[in-house]
């Protein structure tokens, strides 16, 4: 079997997910070739054949042109499997490629079971094993699900690709979220508020627990989207990554995008009314309780020590 | 200007899920149903656009059994003008390609300037449907949109990337936009608008009339993830729970010393 790995680069840097594609292909003992819109100054550590288009000409985000280039590589290499990261780049591009190929697409693969891809369902509460009916298949892989066992190495054999005509979607540049304010990464304790807090007034009880534990408070995304807490306190893939000594998740279900930002914490306590909340999968301690009663009580007991 | 919004009805994710008899989906009993969170942002964006472009007309489309009408009514009460219910009970047996095929078949030649979808559903989570609708209709598409502005046939949007970075993107209409959390603040239907919604057009089309695409994949098995083990679960009276937590933090961490 042969797999085409769609590597990713942003602002001249190869992104780490690219190596996870190699790890997945390795698990299937598949041959690989790689495609990247990037720069010859920053090549991935990869020992195989790399089809490279110049990001300066094509643009980091130019989905119709990227699709065109990928289809050229597929015509040349005839891979059975095309692998993307399940990232803002990959989930945007994969359906376009799968559609052009008439291939089945399976999104956010987390494992293989009986040789079939497994994907999460219902916010990670369930798993689905998928039977693909087409010979050619397109998978996107969940970030972190397949880790390279060794430090990636090698220098690719580069095949340069010419820029195709620009697509109808015009990329005008990047914007960085305003940084500054709190650096959650420095706190030894982070106590985060999730949607389970119910109303903005309850941010205060989470902040007070954080203070009683000598730490900072953070939040999950819905709490930030609702503007109950500033964005620079958001934990997760689209916020900050933290790895404190203690992480307390108050009313947070444990979606993969949240876990990605806190699962490296040394000790994780979750407070949740739902005994089956996916946060329980990674928590060292799951306290099944209503946070509105439990959090103030715990804070009071800590302060009384 | 005609706008199409595609919505899905999903269960509340806090439910206790069970596997159905066939072992390929969750059982539909004992669940509370609601509009897919991502789609709420799509509906709101369409309505905000109508507030800006007064002559706009919004069609909301939902595929599913009789019960999805509740969710359709919510979208009408939020401010969509008319609704299409594509009727099919066993909608969970369709793969994203087929869902997109149905939507495209309905939308073809109808002159929608913008088609809004959520970026993914909360239950299936494939994130494919909006982009595939665009492929079927050969329209340009932008996914994962967290900011949207429209002026004179041109949409200027921000795509959300990882780690707080955004990409600024422009696309001429007609186009498909898939909506990410935080795009706007979805409104709650008011009582007068709920009453008004009852009089709005709700057309039912049997899915068979629009389903022309064969599946390329199927679910072999649905199952619960293996528990990782190791984690302790505490239940009981909250005063005792708090004492127990403090004791465990003293034993297992250094933060209370
Ligand atoms: C591309 C992408 C990027 C994303 N990036 C991020 C990110 O960076 N960070 C992030 O957090 N999310 C992110 N998300 C969103 C993520 O998928 C989830 O929607 C989100 O994390 C859910 O937040 P939550 O757990 O607070 O809310 P919910 O999932 O709604 O969970 C609320 C929890 O509170 C519990 N609860 C309710 N009431 C109580 C009570 N009284 N006491 C105790 N518990 C209670 C419930 O049982 C439930 O488990 C992203 C999503 C996408 C698609």
How many C-alpha atoms does A159 have within 13 Å on its Cβ side?
A: 13
Residue of A nearest to B10 (CA): A122
Interface test mutation site (partner A, options B163, B248, B257, max chain A beta carbons within 10 A): B163
Of A169, A231, A298, the CB nearest to B142: A169
Asked if A95 lies within 8 A of B231 by C-beta distance, the reply is no
- Interval A202-230 mean pLDDT: 96
**Whether the CB of A278 sits within 6 Å of ligand 1:** no
Ligand 1 atom nearest to CA at A256: 17
Residue among A125, A132, A281 whose CB faces B228 most closely = A281
pLDDT of residue A180: 65
Closest CA to A119 of A132, A103, A136, A100: A132
Give the pLDDT mean for B198-221.
98
For chain B, percent of residues with pLDDT exceeding 70:
99
What pLDDT sits at residue A179? 64
> What are the structural domain ranges in chain A?
2-161, 184-303
Question: Both tokens of residue B37?
Answer: 């969170």
3-state secondary structure of A63: helix
Give the HSE-up count for residue B225: Cα atoms under 13 Å, Cβ half-sphere.
Answer: 23
- CA–centroid distance, residue A253 to ligand 1 (Å): 5
Express each pLDDT in A219-246 by its tens digit. Answer: 999 999 999 999 999 999 999 999 999 9
**Residue A64 CB-density burial (10 A; 0-12 exposed, 13-18 middle, 19+ buried):** middle
Instruction: Check if the beta carbon of residue A137 is closer than 8 Å to that of residue A170.
Output: no
The pLDDT of residue B229 is 66
Q: Matching CATH topology for A2-161 and A184-303?
A: yes
In CATH terms, the fold of domain A2-161 is: Rossmann fold (3.40.50)
Q: How far apart are CA B211 and CA A52, in angstroms?
A: 39
State yes or no: pLDDT of A295 exceeds 70.
yes
pLDDT in tens, B38-87: 999 999 999 999 999 999 999 999 999 999 999 999 999 999 999 999 99
Q: What is the pLDDT of residue B226?
A: 82
Ligand 1: residue whose CA is nearest its atom 29: A253
pLDDT band with cut points at 50, 70 and 90 for residue B257 = confident
Q: What is the ipTM of this complex?
A: 0.94
Average the pLDDT over B203-221 and give the result: 98
| B173-190 residue pLDDT tens | 999 999 999 999 999 999
Label residue A177 by pLDDT band (50, 70, 90). confident
Taking the CA of residue A152 and the nearest CA in chain B, the distance in Å comes to: 22
B139 pLDDT higher than 90: yes
The nearest alpha carbon in chain A to B229 belongs to: A281
Segment A77-95, tens digit of pLDDT = 999 999 999 999 999 999 9
Structural domains in chain B, sorted by start: 2-209 (3.40.50.620)
**B15: phi then psi, degrees, rounded to nearest 5:** -65, 160
Residue with tokens 């939040």: A219
CA separation for the pair B114, A280 (Å, rounded): 41
What 3-state class would DSSP assign to A113? strand
Q: Is the pLDDT of residue B167 over 80?
A: yes
Separation of CA B249 and ligand 1 centre (Å)? 24
- Residue B227's pLDDT is 73
Identify the closest residue of chain B to A251 by CA–CA distance: B14
Q: Is A196 in the pocket of ligand 1 (CB under 6 A)?
A: yes
The Å distance, Cα A93 to ligand 1 centre, comes to 26
**Quick check: A178 pLDDT over 90?**
no
pLDDT band per the 50, 70, 90 thresholds, residue B228: low
Q: Average pLDDT over chain B, rounded to whole? A: 96
Which residues are paired to A227 by β-bridges? none
Measured distance CA(B81)–CA(A227) in Å, rounded:
29
Distance of CA A275 to the CA centre of its chain: 25
- Alpha-carbon distances, residue B250 vs A272, A286, B244, B255 (angstroms): 21, 16, 10, 7
Please list every residue in chain A whose beta carbon sits closer than 8 Å to the beta carbon of residue B127. Answer: 91, 95, 107-108
- Whether A273 is in the pocket of ligand 1, judged by its Cβ within 6 Å, is yes
- Assign a CATH topology to domain A184-303: Rossmann fold (3.40.50)
Q: Which of residues 76-135 of A touch B (CB under 8 A)?
A: 87-89, 91-92, 94-96, 98-100, 102-108, 114, 116, 119-134
Residue of B nearest to A61 (CA): B167
The three-state secondary structure class of A115 is: coil
Ligand 1 and A283: CB distance under 6 A: no
Q: Which residues in chain A touch residue B235, judged by CB atoms under 8 angstroms apart? A: 275, 288-289
Whole-number Å distance between alpha carbons of B251 and B257: 10
Q: Please state the pTM of the whole predicted model.
A: 0.94
> Ligand 1 within 6 A of A292 CB?
yes
User: B164: pLDDT confidence band, cut at 50, 70 and 90?
Assistant: confident
Query: What pLDDT does A92 receive?
Result: 98
Of residues A61, A283, A301, nearest to B231 (C-beta) = A283
* Substitution target from B19, B126, B130, B138 for chain A, most A beta carbons within 10 A: B126
State CA A119 to chain mean position distance.
14
| Arithmetic mean of pLDDT over chain A | 95
Confidence grade of residue A176 (pLDDT, cut at 50, 70, 90):
confident
**Closest C-alpha to B85, from B97, B71, B98:** B71
Query: For residues B138, B139, B141 and B147, what is the CA-based torsion angle, rounded to 10 degrees?
Result: -170
């Amino acid at each position: 079997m042969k797999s085409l790995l769609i590597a990713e680069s942003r602002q001249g840097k190869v992104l780490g997910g690219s190596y996870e594609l190699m790890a997945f292909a390795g698990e299937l003992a598949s041959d690989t070739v790689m495609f990247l819109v990037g720069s010859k100054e920053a090549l991935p550590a990869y020992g195989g054949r790399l089809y490279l288009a110049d990001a300066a000409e094509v643009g980091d985000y130019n989905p119709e042109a990227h699709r065109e280039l990928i289809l050229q590589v597929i015509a040349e290499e005839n891979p059975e499997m095309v692998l993307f990261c399940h990232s803002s780049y990959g989930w945007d591009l994969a359906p376009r490629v799968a559609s052009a190929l008439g291939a089945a697409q399976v999104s956010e693969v987390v494992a293989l079971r009986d040789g079939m891809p497994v994907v999460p369902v219902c916010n990670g509460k369930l798993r689905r094993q998928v039977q693909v009916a087409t010979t050619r298949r397109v998978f996107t892989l969940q970030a972190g699900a397949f880790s390279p066992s060794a430090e990636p190495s090698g220098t690719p054999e580069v095949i340069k690709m010419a820029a195709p005509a620009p697509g109808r979607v015009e990329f005008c540049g990047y914007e960085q979220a305003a940084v500054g304010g709190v650096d959650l990464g420095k706190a030894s304790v982070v106590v985060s508020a999730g949607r389970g807090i119910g109303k903005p007034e309850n941010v205060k009880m989470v902040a007070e627990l954080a203070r009683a534990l000598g730490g900072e408070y953070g939040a999950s995304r819905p709490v930030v989207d609702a503007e109950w807490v500033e964005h620079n306190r958001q934990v997760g893939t689209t916020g900050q990554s933290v790895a404190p000594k203690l992480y307390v998740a108050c009313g947070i279900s444990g979606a993969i995008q949240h876990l990605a930002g806190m699962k490296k914490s040394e000790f994780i306590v979750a407070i949740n009314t739902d005994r089956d909340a996916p946060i329980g999968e990674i928590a060292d301690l799951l306290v099944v309780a209503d946070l509105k009663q439990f959090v103030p009580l715990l804070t009071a007991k800590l302060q009384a020590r | 200007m005609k706008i199409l919004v595609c919505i899905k009805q999903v269960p509340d994710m806090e439910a206790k899920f069970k596997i159905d008899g066939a072992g390929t989906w969750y059982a539909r009993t004992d669940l509370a149903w609601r509009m897919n969170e991502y789609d709420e942002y799509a509906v709101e964006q369409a309505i905000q656009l109508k507030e800006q472009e007064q002559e706009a007309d919004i069609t909301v489309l939902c595929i599913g059994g009789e019960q999805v009408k509740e969710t359709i009514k919510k979208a009408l009460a939020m401010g969509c003008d008319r609704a299409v219910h594509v009727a099919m009970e066993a909608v969970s047996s369709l793969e994203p390609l087929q869902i997109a095929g149905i939507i495209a078949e309905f939308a073809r030649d109808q002159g929608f300037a913008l088609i809004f979808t959520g970026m993914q559903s909360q239950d299936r989570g494939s994130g494919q449907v909006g982009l595939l609708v665009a492929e079927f209709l050969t329209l340009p598409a932008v996914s994962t949109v967290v900011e949207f502005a429209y002026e004179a046939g041109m949409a200027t949007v921000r795509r959300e990337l990882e780690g707080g970075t955004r990409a600024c993107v422009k696309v001429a209409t007609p186009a498909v936009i898939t909506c990410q959390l935080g795009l706007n603040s979805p409104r709650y239907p008011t009582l007068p608008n709920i009453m008004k919604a009852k009089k709005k057009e709700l057309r039912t089309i049997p899915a068979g009339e629009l389903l022309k695409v064969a599946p390329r994949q199927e679910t072999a098995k649905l199952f619960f993830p293996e528990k990782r083990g190791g984690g302790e679960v505490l239940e009981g009276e909250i005063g005792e729970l708090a004492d127990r937590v403090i004791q465990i933090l003293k034993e297992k961490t250094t933060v209370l010393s």
